[in-house]
Amino acid sequence: MASIIRLQNKDGSVSYQAQVRLKRGGKLLLNESRSFLAAGVGIRAEAQAKRLAEEWAELLTEKMRGEGAIAQRKLKGLTLKDLISKYIEFFEKDKHLWASKRSVLNVLARSPMADVAILELTADKIIDYVRHRRSFGVKPQSIQQDIIYLGCVLKEAKLFAKLDVDIAQYSLANEYLKEKGMISGSVERERRLQDSELGLILAGAKATEHFRQIPIADLVRFAIETTMRRSEITRLQWSDLDEKNRTILIRDRKDPKKKIGNDQAVPLLGTSLSIIQAQPRTSDFIFPYKSESVGVAFRGIVSKAGIQDLHFHDLRHEGISRLFEQGYQIQEVALVSGHKSWKNLKRYTQLRAVDLLRDVKSVVVEGRGDRR
C-alpha cells in the first residue's frame, strides 16, 4: 500500500518520496505521493527525511483505513431490500423513475436475494437469483434488465444513500452470466400491426370506453401517429402543446445516456393534433391516465379480439415503419421517434427497399451504360 523511494535530485540533494496506493475490488481508489527533502548532507539528514516520509504515509494509510471502516459500519446490517427502497425514494422525488424500472426493482425487492446483507451480496448469490428466475421460465432478455437495474442500485448508492458499495462481486457475476448466456440483450421485435387487427382493436376500444373511461382508440391511433412510448404519452401536458406550430414537448424522454432533462419538441404528424384537441381539459395532462392502466386496458382488448403476440410498444415500431414507407428520410424519422443514433433506425430502412421492388416492372432505365 505504501512505498518509500530515495531520489537523487539534479542539484545533488536527496529526497525521499512516499507513495500510497489503495485498491478495493480491483479498483484504484487512492494514489498519492509526497517528497521530503533531506535538510543537509549526510546519513542523519537523510534518515530524518526518510522518517518524515514514512510518518506521512502511515498517517494517510490509517486515515483511509478509518474511513473504510466507517463505511463498512454504515453498510453493516443493510439489506438489498433496504438499498432498493432508498433508491426508489430518492429518484421518485423528482419523478425520474420509469414505470418499467420501478416494476423490475419491485421484483428484486420481493426476491429471496432482497434479504441478503449488502456486505454479503456475493457473485454466487446473484447467480442463484438468476437461476431462480430462469426456473420460472423468465427469458434471459428479461433477467438482464434485473441485473442492469441491480447494478444501478449498487453503483449509485453513493449518490442516493452516501454509501460506498463495492461492486466487484456484482461485476464478477455479470461477466459470468453473460459468458454462459444466462442473460442477454433484447431481441428486436419485428411485429407489424395488420389493418384487420387495428380495426378489431378500435372496435373493441369503442365498445368498452363507457366503463373503462380510458380512450384506448385515441391512444392507439396517437401512439402510431407519434411513435411515442406509453409512458411518454401519459406524461404529455397541455402547457407544452404548441398548436400553431403543431409541436409538443416530451419531457424527460427515455435515453440510455441522459435520463434527466432530456426534453424534446416533436412534430405532431397526421391526425395526432386533432386527437389531442378532442381530449377534455380535466387535468394538466392531456391523457391523465396511469401508464400501467393503459397497458392493462390495451391487453384486455387485444386478448378479447383474439390477437396474438401484440404489445402496446409494437405500435411505436408500427409508426416508425409507416414513416419510412411514406418516404421520410432517416434523420426526419429520428426527429419524431427521438432516436439519438441512426444505428437503431437502420433496420427499418429495409422496408423502403421492399417498396421499390413492388414497382420494379414500371421502372425503365435508359442510357444506364456500364458503371464500371
Cell triple for 342:
441512426
pLDDT higher than 50, residue 344: yes
Query: Is the model more confident about 191 or about 17?
Result: 17
Query: Between residues 261 and 237, which one has the greater pLDDT?
Result: 237
% of the chain residues with pLDDT over 90 = 56
Mean pLDDT lowest for which of 26-30, 68-72, 132-136? Answer: 68-72
pLDDT tens-place string over residues 158-178: 888 888 888 999 999 999 999
Smallest Cα–Cα separation from 114: which of 90, 74, 72, 149?
149
pLDDT confidence bin for 305, thresholds 50/70/90: very high
pLDDT of 111 over the 80 cut: yes
Given this model, what pLDDT does residue 65 score?
A: 66
pLDDT of residue 123: 94
Higher pLDDT, 277 or 252: 277
Q: What is the pTM of this model?
A: 0.57
Query: In the prediction, which pLDDT does 24 show?
Result: 65
pLDDT score of 88: 92
Contacts made by residues 240-243, CB under 8 angstroms, sequence distance 24+: 241/276, 241/286, 243/273, 243/277
C-alpha cell at 335: 426527429
Mean pLDDT of 48-75: 75
Residue 3 in this model has a pLDDT that exceeds 50: yes
Residue 191 DSSP symbol: P
Of the segments 77-81, 162-166, 283-287, 341-345, which one has the largest average pLDDT value? Answer: 283-287
Residue 332 clears pLDDT 80, i.e. is over it: yes
List the beta strands (DSSP E) in the chain: 2-8, 14-24, 27-37, 241-242, 247-250, 264-267
Of the CA atoms within 13 Å of residue 208, those in its CB half-sphere come to 21
Interatomic CA distance for residues 124 and 108, integer angstroms: 16
Topology given in CATH for the domain delimited by 80-179: DNA polymerase; domain 1 (1.10.150)
Residue 221 · residue 275 · CB < 8 Å: yes
User: Which position has the grid cell 446483507?
Assistant: 117
CA atoms within 13 A on the CB side of 363: 8
Q: How confident is the model at residue 361 (pLDDT cuts 50, 70, 90)?
A: very low
What's the order of all strands across the beta sheet hosting 27-37?
A: 2-8, 14-24, 27-37
250 exposed, middle or buried (CB, 10 Å; 0-12, 13-18, 19+)? buried
**Residue at 109: amino acid letter:** A
**357 has a pLDDT exceeding 70:** no
User: 190, exposed or middle or buried, with CB in 10 Å at 0-12, 13-18, 19+?
Assistant: exposed
Lowest-confidence region among 155-164, 258-267, 298-307: 258-267
Q: What is the DSSP string of 11-49?
A: TS-EEEEEEEEEEETTEEEEEEEEEEE-SSSSHHHHHHH
State the pLDDT confidence band at 18, using cuts at 50, 70 and 90: very high
Backbone torsions φ then ψ of 326, nearest 5 degrees = -80, 0
Q: Which of 27-31, 140-144, 158-162, 207-211 has the lowest mean pLDDT?
A: 27-31
CA distances from 218 to 198, 214, 294 (A): 12, 9, 11
In the CATH scheme, what is the homologous superfamily, with its name and number, of domain 195-358?
A: Intergrase catalytic core (1.10.443.10)
